[in-house]
Structure 1
C-alpha cells in the first residue's frame, strides 16, 4: 500500500473514531446527566437514541448523494454539521437551567452530520483500492478505528465528566475540526470513469441488486442491527449497574466499560487482517463470532460476580469484533461501485437502528432482572448466528473472464446467494 494511500486511510479512519466518540463517550456519563437534569432512565437514553434515529432516516440519502456527487463532497459538510451539533449541546448544558430539550436538538444535528460522514467511509475505501485483500485490510482498519473509539470513549467521557458533567459535549466539535482538516488534506476521491446514472436507471439497478442478492443483503442488514442493539444495550445496562450495584464510579467506571470494547477492538483488527478475500472465511468468522456472543451472554445470566461478569463480556466483545469486519467486507466487495454508497448506507442505517433501540429497550428490561437482560441478549444473538449460518452462502468465485463478466469488472463481487 503506497504512503499517500496510507495517509488517506488514516484520515478516513478518523471519521468513525470521531462519530463513535460522539456517541459512546456519553455512555458512562448518562447516570450523571440523569441526576443533574432530574430525568428518568428512559429520558436519558433518548440522548443516544435521537442521535441514531435521525441518522437512520438520512443515511440512505447520504449514500445516494455520495454515489452521485462524490464521497468527499458529502463527508466534509456532514462533519461540519456534526461539529455544530456538539457546540449546541455543549452550550445548552453549560448555560441553560433546563437544557434537556436543547441537548436533544443538538444531538439531532449531530445525527444529521453523522449520517453523511461515517457511513460513506466504507464505500470510499472500496473505491480507493483495487484488490480485495487491500479492501479487506482497509475495512479492518476502519472498523478497528471505530472500535478503538469505543474503547477510548468511556474512559475519556468519564474523565472529562469528573471535572464538569457537560465537558464531553464540548470535545465533539474539536474532534470534528481535526477530522475535517485531515480529510481535506489527504483524501482524494477516485475520479468517476462514467457519468452518474439517471435517477430512474439508478432505482432500477438497486431493485435488480435486491432481486438478485436480496437474501444475503437483508441477512447482513439484520445481523448488523442486532450486533449494535446488543452492544449498546449491554453498555447502557453495565453503565447503570456498575454505579448502582457495585459502587464503581468516575474514571474507574470508564475503565471497566472499556474492557469488553478492548476485546472488540483487538479481535476486529486481527479479523480484518486475516479474512483476506476468502468469502467463506468471512461467513464463518461472522457465524462463529455470533455463536460466541450468544453462548457467553447466556452463561453470564448465572453470575452477578463483577469479575465473572467482566470476563464474560470480554469474550462477548471478542465475538462481536470477529463478526464486524467480515460483514463490512462482504457487503462492500459484493456491490458494484455505482451502487455501493447506497447499499452500504442502508447497512449503516440498520446498524443505527440497533444503536437507537438498544438503550431504551434495555432501560425497560433492567426493571425486570439481570437474567432477563442477558437471556434476551443471548437469544437474539443466537438468532443472528443462525441467520448468518443459513442465509449467507458464499459460492466459488466466478472466473474474471468467465460467463457474465463485464468489461472493466474488477472481479470483486462475491458470488453470494
Structure 2
C-alpha cells in the first residue's frame, strides 16, 4: 500500500506539486528510507519483547501518518509525512515473514510463503488500479487507503494467536548467533539478490514505467494503474504454486530463471511502440516476481531459528529497503542523463548482475 497505491499517481503529483519527474521518485525514497535504519532495531525488539508488541504500534503509525499525507500542503510536508509513514512500515514486511517462519515448518512453510506472496500480489494488483482511479478525483485521494491499517491493528490485538519467542540469552550471545548466521556466502548472495530485485521493481517498474506510459503513450493514472496491476495478477497465481514448483525445481534454479526473464523484460520495454504489446513484458515480469521473491524469502527463513529469526529477517528487510530507496533515486539520475528509455537499458544491466550473483554465490 505504501508504494503500489500511489505509483500510478506519481506523474499527476509531479504536475500538481510542481516538481520534476526526477524529484517525484523521492516520495518512494522517503517512505523506504526509515526501514534501512529502523528495521534491524525493531527486529531485535521483536525477538526480545514479542512480535505483537512491535507489530501493533507499527500499524497505527503507518495508518495515521499515511492518511495525513492527504492533507499535505506542499511537496516538503508530503516528504516529511511519507518519512513517518515509512517509520510505521519499517517492521511490517519483516514481521510478516517472521510470523510465517514461526508458524510453519518444512514444505508447509514453502507453501505458506507462496500463499503469502500470492496475497501480497493480490494487494499489489488491486492497489495500482484503486489508487489510479482515486487519483482521478485528486492526487491526494490514494493516501486515504492507509486508514485501513487502524482496524487491522485492532484485529491483531484481539485475534492473532502466534507463538512468541522465549529468548533468555544475554545480548552478547544473542548478537553473536545472529552475526554467525548472517555471514555465510549463501545468505550474502540472497541478500544481494533481494537488493537488486527491489532496485528493478521500485526503480524501473513502479517509478519509471508509469512515467514511460505517461510520456510515450499519454495514458491516464487509471490506465497506468490497471496496467501495473496486470503483472501482480500473474505474480499472485505463480506465488500460490510455489509449494508445487519448489517440489520440482530448486529455489536456486527458480531465482536464476527469474533473473534471465528480468533481462528480457527490461531490454524489450523501450523497443515496444504498440501499447497492447506491453502486455507481454508485464506478464513475464509478473511471473518472474512470483518465482523469485517467495523463493528468496523461503531460503532465508530456513537459515534462522525462532529465537533470533526477527532480527535475521529484519537485516534482509533493511537490504530490501535499501534497494527500494536507491532504485528510484538512482534511476532518476539515469533518467535525467539519458531519458526514460535509457533507464530500462540500465535496469537490464542490473538483471545481468543479478544473474551473476545467483550463479556465483547462491549454491
1:136–1:273 contact (8 Å) kept in structure 2:
no
Distance 1:82 1:317, change over 3 A: same
| Aligned with residue 17 of structure 2, among 37, 42, 52 | 37
Greater helix proportion: 2
1:58–1:112 contact (8 Å) kept in structure 2:
yes
CA-CA distance at 1:168 after TM superposition: 0.9
Q: Deviations over 1:292-311 (max 9, x none)?
A: 11133224444333233331
How far apart, CA to CA, are the structure 2 residues paired with 1:272 and 1:26?
Answer: 32
Which structure exhibits the higher relative contact order, with contacts defined as CA atoms closer than 8 Å and separated by 6 or more residues?
2
Asked if 1:374 corresponds to 2:344, the answer is yes
How far apart, CA to CA, are the structure 1 residues paired with 2:167 and 2:301?
Answer: 21
Give the match for residue 236 of structure 1: 207
| Aligned with residue 87 of structure 1, among 55, 61, 67 | 67
Aligned length in residues: 361
Q: Secondary structure at the match of 1:248?
A: coil
Q: Deviations over 1:97-127 (max 9, x none)?
A: xx22221121111111111222111111111
TM-score (norm 1): 0.82
Unpaired runs of 5+ in structure 2? none
Distance 1:390 1:153, change over 3 A: same
TM-score (norm 2): 0.94
Instruction: Say which is worse superposed, 338-347 or 258-267, in terms of deviation.
Output: 258-267
Asked if 1:323 corresponds to 2:292, the answer is yes
Unpaired runs of 5+ in structure 1? 1-20, 394-417
RMSD (Å), alpha carbons = 1.8
2:56–2:153 contact (8 Å) kept in structure 1:
yes
CA-CA distance at 1:327 after TM superposition: 0.5
Give the match for residue 320 of structure 2: 351
Q: How does 1:385-400 map to 2 (within 5 A)?
A: 385-393=355-363
CA-CA distance at 1:268 after TM superposition: 2.1
2:22–2:335 contact (8 Å) kept in structure 1:
no
1:272–1:326 contact (8 Å) kept in structure 2:
no
Give the match for residue 180 of structure 2: 208
2:121–2:236 contact (8 Å) kept in structure 1:
yes
CA-CA distance at 1:366 after TM superposition: 2.8
Q: How does 1:150-169 map to 2 (within 5 A)?
A: 150-169=124-143
Which structure: larger Rg?
Answer: 1
Distance 1:81 1:163, change over 3 A: same
